[in-house]
Amino acid sequence: MEVLEVALADFDGHAEFQTDDISSASGTLDVVSGGKACQGRRQYGLPALIETVNVARLDTLIESGRLPAPNVIKVDVEGAEERLLRGAIRTLETYSPGLVIEHHGVEASRAVVRFLHSIGYHVFGYLNTENGANYKEIMTGDIDEITGMYSLQHCVACRDPSCLQSPIMRRLES
């Protein structure tokens, strides 16, 4: 196994990366954070902790042969979910991998659902509303129901909706 020291995004090159060394040992691309320090550092009045990282589109890595075509992609990129997916558009259209995505914020969640619908993916997840959490296919009309940080914290997506019509955990238990 080879570890690639690269952040996935919708462009190739270099970018500033905001490190959260206080609360989560994670970070996010500066283009997502808008140059603000991470939450952990902000709460203590500390400035942003910035480093420059290599950035690549997933399409570039696959087309160059540095990575094989995926069957499944797991995404947890602290608000850069749509950027990663846009940088993988040819991979998504050509290989149709399944997706497991953790969302970070209302607008990020909405953008991911809209983008996946635009390329023919079906999105499923637990949509948390005033009426509780229901596992369902997230349709265009449901996007306005994504109003809070955890309205749609995770989703799964694929081109064939029959593979995700029941929660994955329920299928694993049987």
Same domain (yes/no): 86, 22: no
Same domain (yes/no): 98, 170: yes
Amino acid at position 83, single letter: R
Within the chain, residue ranges assigned H as helices are 30-33, 39-42, 58-63, 81-86, 89-95, 106-118, 168-173
The Cα 39–Cα 46 span in angstroms is 10
The Cα 102–Cα 109 span in angstroms is 9
Q: Render pLDDT for 88-105 as a digit per residue (tens, 0 to 9).
A: 999 999 999 999 999 988
Looking at residue 130, its pLDDT comes to 83
Domain of residue 152, CATH code: 3.30.950
Looking at residue 169, its pLDDT comes to 47
Looking at residue 152, its pLDDT comes to 93
In a domain, 33, yes or no: yes
- Which residue stretches of the chain have pLDDT < 50? 169-174
